[in-house]
Amino acid sequence: MKQTIALTINGTRRSIETELGETLLEVLRRNGMKSVKLGCDTGDCGACAVLLDGSAVNACMVLAVAADGKDVDTVEGLEHDGRLHPMQQAMIDVGAVQCGFCTPGILMSGIDLLSRNPDPTEDEVREALAGNLCRCTGYVKQVDVILATARLQAGETDA
């Protein structure tokens, strides 16, 4: 059984045909959002984290039909006019990317955190990443990236 849903993916409204039972993860990947990664399919690893109406969710745990009419933001939408999001740039500059498979999910969780809490402590950053598993890094540099982005954005706001 098919159903057509409306999704606004990275600011572009789309009409998408979905199969019954299909997850948001499957729909996003099928529509070219390959940054959304399948690591477990049980909502435990966070590699498929996206923003749904501005809040981070694991796309593997959301039925596509439940996202009907909502905004979805993925890493594909972070770069504007050839400029990376500061958190993406910090990932590169700090050397926080190893294999990079978990990186999109970490970015979305980090952006979600700073939207709610622009000046987090290190513990708050670690807590915000509790649902994003990374096997490569030990999280040290990823935490630094989010803290550095918060400082940078605070500076921009002050200015």
Q: Which is nearer to another protein, 38 or 66 (CB)?
A: 38
What does DSSP say about strands 55-58 and 70-73: parallel, antiparallel, or unpaired? unpaired
> Minimum distance from CB of 101 to another protein (Å)?
3
Contacts 24+ apart (CB under 8 A), 48-51: 48/105, 49/104, 49/105, 49/106, 49/108, 49/109, 49/112, 49/131, 49/132, 50/24, 50/74, 50/108, 51/108, 51/111, 51/112
> Minimum distance from CB of 89 to another protein (Å)?
8
Is residue 91 close enough to count as binding another protein by CB under 8 A?
yes
> Minimum distance from CB of 19 to another protein (Å)?
9
Q: Is 68 in contact with 13 (CB distance < 8 Å)?
A: no
Is residue 6 close enough to count as binding another protein by CB under 8 A?
no
Q: For another protein, which residue of 65, 71, 101, 151 counts as binding (CB under 8 A)? A: 101
Q: For another protein, which residue of 8, 38, 70, 153 counts as binding (CB under 8 A)? A: 38
Is residue 133 close enough to count as binding another protein by CB under 8 A?
yes
Distances from the Cα of 72 to the Cα of 23, 78, 83, 118, angstroms: 13, 12, 20, 21
Q: Which is nearer to another protein, 44 or 69 (CB)?
A: 44
Is residue 140 close enough to count as binding another protein by CB under 8 A?
yes
Between CA 55 and CA 113 the distance in angstroms is 9
Q: Which is nearer to another protein, 70 or 126 (CB)?
A: 126
Q: Is 27 in contact with 19 (CB distance < 8 Å)?
A: no
Contact positions vs another protein (CB under 8 A) = 33-42, 44-45, 47, 74-76, 78-79, 84, 88, 91-104, 107, 122-123, 125-127, 129-143
